[in-house]
Amino acid sequence: MIYQNPIVRGFYPDPSVCYANSKYYLVCSSMQYFPAVPLFESEDLLNWTQIGHCLTRTEQIALKNVNSSGGVFAPTIRFHDGRFYMTTTNSTTNQNFIVWTDNIYGEWSDPIFIDQNGIDPSLYFENEKSYFMSNGSDAEGISGIVQCEIDIATGEKRSPSKTVWQGSGGRYLEGPHLYKIKDYYYLLAAEGGTEYGHMVTYARSTSPYGPFEAYPNNPVLTNRNLGGFQIQGVGHGDLIEAPDGSYWLVHLGFRQTGQWTTFHHLGREVFLSPVEFHDNGWFTAGIDGTTPEYVNVPYAKEVQRFQNEYTFLNTDFEKEWCYLRHPLIENYTLCKNQITLNGSSNSLDDVASPTFIGLRQKEFCCRINCDIEIDHGEAGITLYMDENHHYDLALLKVPEGYQIIERICIGNIKSIEAQYSLGNSSRATLVIESNSQEYRFFVNSENQNILLGTGLTRYLSSEVAGGFTGVIIGLYAFDQDSTNTAKFTNFKCEYLHE
């Protein structure tokens, strides 16, 4: 059966996957958003359902005043001896830690910190030993993939941290994972930086301590030389065995906005590429070492499912929705047919936690509409990349009544591009339409959509904004006096085909 990449769409970077109890589980980075580390479940590696997050309590992860693209980096999920473990980095505090759970649908433990530097931590279990690795440098100052043995219950190191591999020569060696498959230990990694030069590389050894011999034809998977190809930035993967015994790489990549427009704003997404082991013990990946949009999955029994419509009624506020950093939860009243937000003095431009709740944008082409009512202050829909790059369509109380504004924030350029008077009406229907190249902003008046203006998608892209996130479709409220109330109803985000 033919499947389409990406298999998890929108800002879900740095995927890691494990198998337990006849199902697959996947986690991704979440950066400055909370709850942290989205958690998915699948029966076939292809159709994924979000079942929660690993970090749901403020005491598990420090996110106060974390800059955009700081916070939670590159988690790894593993299952060992009946227990799930997730390890990740808080890149802002420079701490690696582990949490665990015996119930994948329940709460995870408080963090267990590991005294090893670097980012992108991973775990490997064998013969009552627990191995911990990250990228970084060892006690002798040698940089690369660093490994030690730990007490998995306490995080205490049982061996010194030692660099076991320095990669194949690409910059930014990261994302290590260790596996034992037949006669070899395979050390998988990413190199080249998580942009257009990204790639998957690996090495092998007969011992978990090395020495590791690099695959002669590294990189084993990359799209770095595919000019004019939509899928770019392929790298940072995790190796997994499918239900039929075949092997696959679950990895990140991104979709640029057009064949020759090298911008991406949906974030890094989750892709699937086939792996083939050969008689000499080496493996190859992808189609001639690249990740295609369409991939043949011989074991697949179910058709690929994409959700094309998101509303308050068919989403779970504790799963698909997210906040910026740690929210002041009393400012949010979340019901199945209405969200009520109490505005704070923290704006979308602040490195703080404004009153904001959002969904990841999953496709280029979409139509977003929502009814909004305020008493005073400001409330609206934001297309949010970070505190310095967002487009806002908002309902605003002004001395002469109410008005709709279209605002752009691009770096240090902050401009109200259009205004539309509502007179004394404190309620409005806001509409945003998008394709791969632009957003269009409307207010619905007398059943007609009145165009206020447009904004190019490229100015919300990683190439312009920098960082490692993607656009979040956010609902927000703001009031300098922290006293306004905004009601959001009839929200719908519908994905279309370009």
Question: Between vectors from CA 53 to CA 50 and to CA 59, what angle results, nearest 5°?
Answer: 170
Name which of 53, 48, 139, 44 is nearest 319 in CA terms: 53
**DSSP secondary structure letter of residue 65:** T
Distance CA 482, CA 495 (A): 34
Q: Which two tokens stand for residue 152?
A: 């998995």
Asked if residue 15 has a cis previous peptide bond (ω within 30° of 0), the answer is no
Residue 461 and residue 468 in contact, taking contact as beta carbons nearer than 8 Å: no
Residue type, 442: F
Q: In terms of DSSP bridges, do strands 427-434 and 438-445 run parallel, antiparallel, or are they unpaired?
A: antiparallel
Residue 26 and residue 42 in contact, taking contact as beta carbons nearer than 8 Å: yes
Distance CA 339, CA 58 (A): 22
Which residue has 């109330």 as its token pair?
A: 485
Distance CA 69, CA 400 (A): 40
Q: Enumerate the active-site residues.
A: 14, 174
Residue 108 and residue 87 in contact, taking contact as beta carbons nearer than 8 Å: no
Distance CA 251, CA 177 (A): 12
Asked if residue 354 has a cis previous peptide bond (ω within 30° of 0), the answer is no
